[in-house]
Amino acid sequence: MSKTANVPDQDALKRAGAAVRKRLEADPSIYKVPTDKAEIFAVGDFLTPLECERFVKLIDVVAKPSELHLTAYVEKFRTSYSGNFDARDPFVQSISRRIDDLLGVNSNCGETIQGQRYLPGQEFKPHNDWFYTDQEYWQGENKRGGQRSWTAMAFLNTVEEGGHTHFVEVGALIEPKPGVLLIWNNANPDGTPNLDTLHAGTPVVAGAKYVLTKWYRTRKWV
Ligand SMILES: O=C(O)CCC(=O)C(=O)O
Ligand SMILES: [Fe+2]
């Protein structure tokens, strides 16, 4: 059996990769991180200062200690506070749609946008956003829309010190600049999970860090 014979959603990941890549690469205002290891893009001023401020306030309302799937993760892996925004809130809906439109992805595939707040000492250790399909939780995620294709993540405030997004294999350390949207493909062009998308939210040293994240599935998210 070939190595890629049993990659769930591989064809869909390959298609989603190609479609979004084509769209983002065609836009000269979108920056692409210069690396062959992963497809990582950045869009400046994707959110206005007022929109960022509004999300920061919403995060302070919804943020609870972050949950993670129970895998072999060590304790203190993701120490930030996080929460889902109200998907019926027209403001949240409008930004959600703006992200869908930028990527050209079917809105059905997008998870509810999640907000996160890190205080000094809090971090998200190196991880991949795709699901480990050999773990028990995959049975549930498979029914809820399958594997994650692209991630979109926006920085919402200026962090006094720390709180970068670090793609450890690529060697890209991205400064949290408010309004910037980062977008990356969690898969390789052939639809297999891209191990080089390993990334971390480095510890906040001073101040606070607020971000929002939207993950896309290969199928309708339910
Ligand atoms: O906070 C960051 O910089 C990274 C967040 C992240 O990796 C995620 O939400 O999946
Ligand atoms: Fe992540």
Reduce the secondary structure of 181-214 to three states and give it as a string: EEEEECECCCCCECHHHCEEECCEEECCEEEEEE
Could you tell me if 185 and 21 are in contact, meaning their C-beta atoms sit under 8 angstroms apart? Answer: yes
Residue closest via CA to ligand 1's atom 10 equals 129
Domains for the chain: give ranges and CATH numbers: 10-217 (2.60.120.620)
pLDDT at 82: 84
Q: According to the model, what pLDDT value does residue 70 have?
A: 45
**ipTM for the predicted complex:** 0.99
Report helix, strand or coil for 85.
Answer: coil
C-alpha angle 154-157-161 in degrees, rounded to nearest 5: 110
Ligand 1 atom closest to the CA of 127, numbered from 1 = 7
Residue 4's pLDDT is 47
| CA–CA gap between residue 84 and residue 63 (Å, rounded) | 8
Pocket test for ligand 1, best of 211, 212, 215, 216 (most atoms within 8 A of CB): 211
Counting atoms of ligand 1 from 1, which one is nearest the CA of 199? Answer: 7
Give burial (CB, 10 Å; 0-12/13-18/19+) of 75.
Answer: exposed
Residue 204: what pLDDT?
97
Low-confidence residues of the chain: pLDDT under 70? 1-5, 65-77
- Token pair in block for residue 75: 């304790």
Q: What is the pLDDT of residue 169?
A: 98
Query: pTM of this prediction?
Result: 0.93
Protein residue with least CA distance to atom 4, ligand 1 = 201
Residue 157: CB within 6 Å of ligand 1? no
Residue 2 has a pLDDT of 47
User: How far apart (Å, rounded) are the C-alpha atoms in residues 9 and 200?
Assistant: 25
> Which among 139, 118, 106, 70 is positioned nearest to 216, based on CA atoms?
106
CB contact at 8 A, 144 and 97: no
Residue nearest ligand 1's atom 8 by CA: 213
Distance 19 CA to ligand 1 centre (A): 24
- Residue to mutate, 124, 127, 183, ligand 1, most ligand atoms under 8 Å from C-beta: 124
CA of 36 to the centre of ligand 1 (A): 21
> What pLDDT does 78 receive?
75
Q: How many other CB atoms are found less than 10 A from the CB of residue 143?
A: 10
CA–CA distance from 66 to each of 24, 46, 78, 124, 212 (Å)? 31, 25, 7, 10, 13
Provide the pLDDT for residue 71.
46
Alpha helices by DSSP H, 84-131: 90-103
pLDDT score of 62: 85
